[in-house]
Structure 1
Amino acid sequence: MPVDATPDPYANPMTFGTRLQILRQHRGMTREVLAGLIGMSVEWVKRVEGGRIEEPGLSTVLRCAEALRVRDLSELTGRSMNAPLFQGPGHPRLAAVRAAVDALPFGTSAAAPPRAEHLAARLAVAWQSRHSAPNHREIVGGLLPGLIRDAHLAVQHAETPADWRAAQAVLSETYSLSQFFLAYQPDASLLWRVAERSMVAAAQSVDPHAIGVSAWLMAQAHRDSGPGHYDAADAVTRQALEHLAPLLPDADDRVLAIAGALEFEAGYTAARRGSKGTAWRHWSKASKMAKALPGDYFHPVTSFSQAIMGAHAVTVAVELHAGGESVRQAARADATTIPSRPRRARHRIEEARGYQLDNQPDVAIATLEKAHEAAPETIRYNGYAKSLLLEECSARSAGRRERASRLAVKVGLLAA
């Protein structure tokens, strides 16, 4: 190999510092920028790259991987490990929610056990708070421990089979709410436990809405786990839709909506696979199902509605990596009609991804700013938004780099 050639970062032996330097230079990133992104000093980066500091701890390695947009930690460490780029920092409420989930599901209470209908009312308030509050994770995280505890109490103390099934439906939905809180949190095993418990409780409730919601979230958990889980995601959505199909002629709006949401999820997974025709066929069917709902209807869990289908079209185009189509769909969608703040922010993030695919990075950053205005906690914990921002923090354009850095400070990716 010529003496001036770039070393192969996979060659052995090679130190962590050498790998870090190669990947940093490959990204066109200065030591100053990398230091700011990972919260360390420029001198620290220099010392690591020079071999005067050995490989740091795992948390610092993960920050380096995130800043350099490395998915496989072997690029940095030489050992095969997957970097959880799309997991955010742990929310302050995470420990309390984890403790509530991990607690033994039985106990005694001097107070009368809560009734399922009272818990359902509390859940409705929690869902409304999630949709309306900019700091929705903080609010939901504060409510979940009590809801989880009381939902289990309601199941244990149910006096009739009907009460027991109603309590199981509430317990399932409580775990569904937990999944929204746990998305992008650094505890994948906890997310899976919650998803599985939601499915079990839903099956025991025999409530079609609870079954649909738990299946909708389980399909997402599989899909977001990577290509190896796409078949499982498809199986969950297919089986749930088959279960709901005979009930739809006499179903209420909630069940019709969850069926539509599941139909779109099938299209979402197809888009992840790159199956363009299948993805858009599912989207079209879901759009027809949305049009059968009242114009102002908005499903409290999935956000399925007529208003959301434009946002769903953007997601399909983005997942198919079709930049031009993503931008065209974004122009047709009206984000202002989405009443949920976190869902509106999520849509803005998807729009930003589309603009990035279409080589419009300045518009992408402006769109992320709108996402931050809608729901700061959504963008803070969203891996796609973080990845896009980190990339633009090292852009060649000074103006774009400065704008991205300002937003990165607001989001919490960079120190002020």
Structure 2
Amino acid sequence: MPSDATPDPYADPLKFGQRVQILRERRGMTRTQLAGLIGVSPHTLKKVENGQQQAPGLEMVLRIAEALRVRDLADLTGRHTMHVDLFIGPGHPRLGAVKAAVDSFALGSSVEPPPVAHLEARLHAAWKARHQAPNHREVIGRLLPDLIRDAQALVRHADSSNERRRAQSLLAQTYSLSQFFIAYQPDSALLWRVAERGMVAAQDSGDPHAIGVAAWLLAQAHRDSGSRHFDSADAINSEAVRFLEPLLPDADDDVLAIAGALEFELGYTAARRRETGTAWRHWDKANDMAARLPDDYYHPVTSFSQAIMGAHAVTVAVELHQGGESVRQAARADEVTIPSRPRRARHRIEEARGYQLDGQPDVAIATLEKAHRAAPETIAYNGYARAIILEEAESKTVARRRRASELAVQIGLLAA
């Protein structure tokens, strides 16, 4: 190994501070940037990295892990006998079958395609189940293999350009549904294949709504890969917004809603960068677009609607680390109006993050319990929820520690 090569943070006997510095530099973050994200001074962080200050407690370790998007605490602590995967949930039992369907391509005509109307009805039912079932990954994981194979077959057997475009639109929708199942599971390469294939199928379809949804999901894949990919996420979102903008004066509700969802995603990424003004400016634009939708409308994929904007405001405040503001926004948001169970649970998790930031850990745990009741599989796969629960399972307050530990057992984070 060359003498100037970056050391491997997983090779002992590196100390905690060295691991933080190496992982920070690999993320392309300055010491000042990381210090701001975790709420300490750059001088304090420098002392931690240089080993002049002892390794921090669990709360700070989790904050560092979140800021650096470290998925396994062992990568920070060096204790490889104690793996805690924060941002990737457990592999779902149906992941293998879904992966096999995605990766399989029948080059002949062995799979007879279903009628288009039949596949459309099955996809509609699958999306409905995704929003209504508390164990939504189990439900759509059972449906996806056949949906993927049939949608691929429909594209292969298309006889005309119009038939092919319609089939590609359905295939893009199927890949979009697949991405919801695969997200936060231990196969990032599969997630990327599905996101990119969905974008290609959507573009081939020429369907503005399918293109908008595929762009929304692909941008999220970039953003959730870390700060170095924020620019790519913004580029995809911005290009999709520009593509849809000329269509908006005469657009139907679904196209208008996906354009609004894309606008909010620009604000979400800005909030991740701590760009306060830009984040709220995009939220305002998205809110204006939501106001153009019927009061009872909800986008079938993103849940974008008038009601969701309150939840989005909580997310922006949390990502900006504005604890008080996130709590105020949570009080204004009416989660009962969110019909999608996983989206409702996700909103509760964002509220819990806000309460945790605001120094209200008991309320945070109570809110996560509500998320668990709404959609257990959502909280089980959410890294932020897992981090809060793990932190409070070490609380010195007995009642809080007991509640957090019980919740940790329920979601599979700790053994019973």
Under a length normalisation based on structure 2, what TM-score does the superposition of the two structures give?
A: 0.83
Task: List per-residue Cα deviations over 1:67-111 (Å, max 9, x = no partner).
Answer: x98657154069xxx996301110011000011111125343374
Task: List per-residue Cα deviations over 1:367-414 (Å, max 9, x = no partner).
Answer: 000000100010011111001100000011111000101111111111
What secondary structure does 1:244 align onto? Answer: helix
Contact 1:380 1:411 in 2 (8 A): yes
2:259 matches 1:229: no
Contact 1:106 1:152 in 2 (8 A): no
CA spacing shift, 1:24–1:157, aligned 2, 3 Å: farther
Q: Which residue of 1 aligns with 2:273?
A: 273
Q: Which amino acid aligns with 1:76?
A: G
Q: Which residue of 2 aligns with 1:98?
A: 99
2:103 matches 1:73: no
What secondary structure does 1:73 align onto? Answer: helix
Q: Aligned ranges for residues 118-267 of structure 1 at < 5 Å?
A: 118-267=118-267
CA spacing shift, 1:257–1:105, aligned 2, 3 Å: farther
CA spacing shift, 1:238–1:162, aligned 2, 3 Å: same
Q: Which amino acid aligns with 1:73?
A: D
Q: Which residue of 2 aligns with 1:35?
A: none
CA spacing shift, 1:203–1:72, aligned 2, 3 Å: farther
2:380 matches 1:414: no
Contact 1:69 1:387 in 2 (8 A): no
Q: Which residue of 1 aligns with 2:3?
A: none
Runs of 4+ displaced beyond 3 Å: 9-16, 22-29, 68-72
Q: Which residue of 2 aligns with 1:396?
A: 396
Larger radius of gyration: 1
Cα separation, 2, equivalents of 1:110 and 1:393: 51
Task: List per-residue Cα deviations over 1:227-268 (Å, max 9, x = no partner).
Answer: 000000000010001111111111111100000000000000
Task: List per-residue Cα deviations over 1:253-294 (Å, max 9, x = no partner).
Answer: 110000000000000000001000000000011011001001
Unaligned runs of 5+ in 1: 1-8, 30-61
What secondary structure does 1:355 align onto? Answer: helix
Q: Which residue of 2 aligns with 1:384?
A: 384
Cα separation, 1, equivalents of 2:389 and 2:147: 35
Cα separation, 1, equivalents of 2:280 and 2:410: 36
Q: Which residue of 1 aligns with 2:328?
A: 328
Q: Which residue of 1 aligns with 2:42?
A: none
CA spacing shift, 1:269–1:69, aligned 2, 3 Å: closer
CA spacing shift, 1:347–1:12, aligned 2, 3 Å: closer
Task: List per-residue Cα deviations over 1:27-70 (Å, max 9, x = no partner).
Answer: 379xxxxxxxxxxxxxxxxxxxxxxxxxxxxxxxx9xxx9x986
Cα separation, 2, equivalents of 1:155 and 1:358: 51
CA spacing shift, 1:10–1:250, aligned 2, 3 Å: closer
Work out which of the residue numbers 54, 57, 71 in structure 2 matches 1:27. Answer: 57
Cα separation, 2, equivalents of 1:73 and 1:406: 26
Cα separation, 2, equivalents of 1:170 and 1:69: 34
CA spacing shift, 1:235–1:72, aligned 2, 3 Å: farther
My pick for the range that moved more, 115-124 or 287-296, is 115-124
Contact 2:111 2:153 in 1 (8 A): no
Q: Which amino acid aligns with 1:289?
A: M
Contact 2:172 2:210 in 1 (8 A): yes
The number of equivalent residue pairs is 365
Contact 1:106 1:153 in 2 (8 A): no
Contact 1:182 1:191 in 2 (8 A): yes
What secondary structure does 1:87 align onto? Answer: coil
Cα separation, 2, equivalents of 1:13 and 1:198: 44
Cα separation, 2, equivalents of 1:134 and 1:84: 23
